[in-house]
Amino acid sequence: MRAAGAVLPIAILVLAVYAFQSGFLLQVPGSPVPVERVDIERIVLRPGEITAYMVNSGAEDVKVAQLLVDDIIWGGTISPSDVIPRLGKATLSISYPWVEGEPLLLTIVTSNSFKFEHELEVALPTPEFGTDLFVLFALMGSYIGLLPVFLGVLWYPVLRSLKPSLYAFLLSFTVGLLILLGADSIFEAFEISAGAPAIFNATPLVIIGLLATFMSLMVASESSLSTKGVASRGLSLAYLIALGIGLHNLGEGLAVGAAYAVGAVALGAFLIIGFTIHNFTEGIAIVAPLSSSRTAIKHLVAVGFIAGAPTIAGALIGGFSFSSFWASLFLAVGAGAIFQVVFVILRYMAESRGFASLLGDLKVVSGITLGMLVIYLTGFLVAA
């Protein structure tokens, strides 16, 4: 009886949807104005050739009637067909003498005269997978992720030499760094999600990725932080911070690799130096919980790789095959991980005196404020 009671509402729901879809019970007049939406996911440029990957994000089938390149009517071929079904994809190939370094505007006109545009601020050949570019993106990821994180980790002896009374200040400084780093991840995730095809509804996915990651890591971290002793808990915090920053750096690498590939960012010496200084603070945040006890070198190396290496993977993926959908999701996941670490650190600090007393401590407040200011000020160095 219980099984039947569970199945019956679902069966009625299926029948109701079918009856509505078939028009058996209710005839809904169609809209006289068609609802069309074509998103261009990605444009690949080769000498004398443009390839655009399109997706129909609207509610109806779309027929592509006309193509314009830089506001000039131009011919091209669409495969598998110039009629793109709802939720379907198509590939547009155009022979066009685009000029390197100049802007490029591609316009799709449907049979109902709807126009959909995709503009490249700077037209550059799309990177093709090869040894030279692989090394370039790997080095770029190392310079903006792995190197600065390990430079920050090298501050471990300096932090160990400070007075034990400054331990709360260091943890608070870490919290300040992570708060602004997490907030920056959220803002960037929302910005990138706006460029994803509408069919993916990437903006709500940012919220899902943020909250799901936060809650999942909260469950996973309960056992790892239950160990008694300052040293063990400090090491667990360091690994959690490294994981959160690593997820953030994966999304950051995706965005930077893609920006370099399309010419939106000229990664000159100044910008690389800016990223190095900006991300140097991440290494300090990782080792701050370890300053109250002696830590083996293998753990310092491990947390450095966990936090910095994902930038290399992100730069490679972003440079050769960028996706707004995945970039926004990874940034949201990174933000969720970072805010989970913030919560764990604050709870750890408040165990002996409570949150109210914690937030009334001058060392804690000044540490959090200074940490946020450091991220804010070093952010000017990487503003594109």
Per-residue pLDDT of the chain (384 residues; tens, 9 = 90+): 566 666 777 777 777 766 666 656 656 555 555 678 888 888 888 898 999 998 888 878 899 989 999 888 888 889 998 899 988 889 999 999 998 888 889 999 998 888 988 888 878 787 777 788 788 888 888 888 888 889 888 888 888 887 777 878 888 888 888 898 888 888 888 888 877 777 777 788 889 989 998 888 888 766 555 544 555 777 888 888 888 888 888 877 877 777 666 555 544 455 566 677 777 888 888 888 887 778 888 999 999 999 989 989 888 887 777 777 788 888 888 888 889 888 888 887 777 677 777 777 888 889 899 989 988 887 776 665
Task: Write out the two tokens for 281.
Answer: 């603070």
Which pairing describes strands 72-74 and 38-46: parallel, antiparallel, or unpaired? unpaired
| Residue 382 identity (one-letter amino acid) | V
> In the chain, where are the structural domains located?
38-120, 131-382
Task: Write out the two tokens for 40.
Answer: 């261009």
Task: Write out the two tokens for 98.
Answer: 């685009």
Q: Residue 176, exposed/middle/buried by CB under 10 A (0-12, 13-18, 19+)?
A: buried
- Nearest Cα neighbor of 372 from 224, 172, 204 is 172
* Span 38-120 CATH architecture: Sandwich (2.60)
The full length of the chain comes to 384
Q: Evaluate whether 186 touches 211 at the Cβ level (below 8 Å).
A: no
SS3 of 229, please?
A: coil
Total Cβ atoms within 10 A of residue 282: 29
Q: What was the pLDDT predicted at 267? A: 47
Q: What was the pLDDT predicted at 91? A: 92
- Nearest Cα neighbor of 141 from 364, 311, 317 is 311
Threshold 0.85, pTM exceeds:
no
Torsions phi, psi for 186 (to 5 deg): -65, -50
Q: What was the pLDDT predicted at 219? A: 80
Euclidean distance between CA atoms 308 and 169, whole angstroms:
24
Q: Give 119's strand partners.
A: 105
SS3 of 252, please?
A: helix
Q: What angle do CA 219, 224, 227 make, to 5 degrees?
A: 130
Q: Evaluate whether 112 touches 102 at the Cβ level (below 8 Å).
A: no
Cis, bond preceding 32 (omega within 30 deg of 0): no
Q: Evaluate whether 149 touches 245 at the Cβ level (below 8 Å).
A: yes
Q: Which residues contact 313 (CB under 8 A, 6 or more apart)?
A: 141, 250, 253
First-to-final CA distance of the chain: 64
Q: At what angle do helices 167-193 and 324-350 cross, to 10 degrees?
A: 160
Sign of CA dihedral 95, 266, 336, 380: negative
Euclidean distance between CA atoms 199 and 86, whole angstroms:
10
| Residue 373 identity (one-letter amino acid) | L
| Residue 271 identity (one-letter amino acid) | L
Instruction: Locate the DSSP E strands across the chain.
Output: 38-46, 49-56, 62-69, 72-74, 77-79, 83-84, 89-95, 104-110, 115-120
| Residue 217 identity (one-letter amino acid) | L
Euclidean distance between CA atoms 171 and 240, whole angstroms:
13
Which pairing describes strands 62-69 and 72-74: parallel, antiparallel, or unpaired? antiparallel
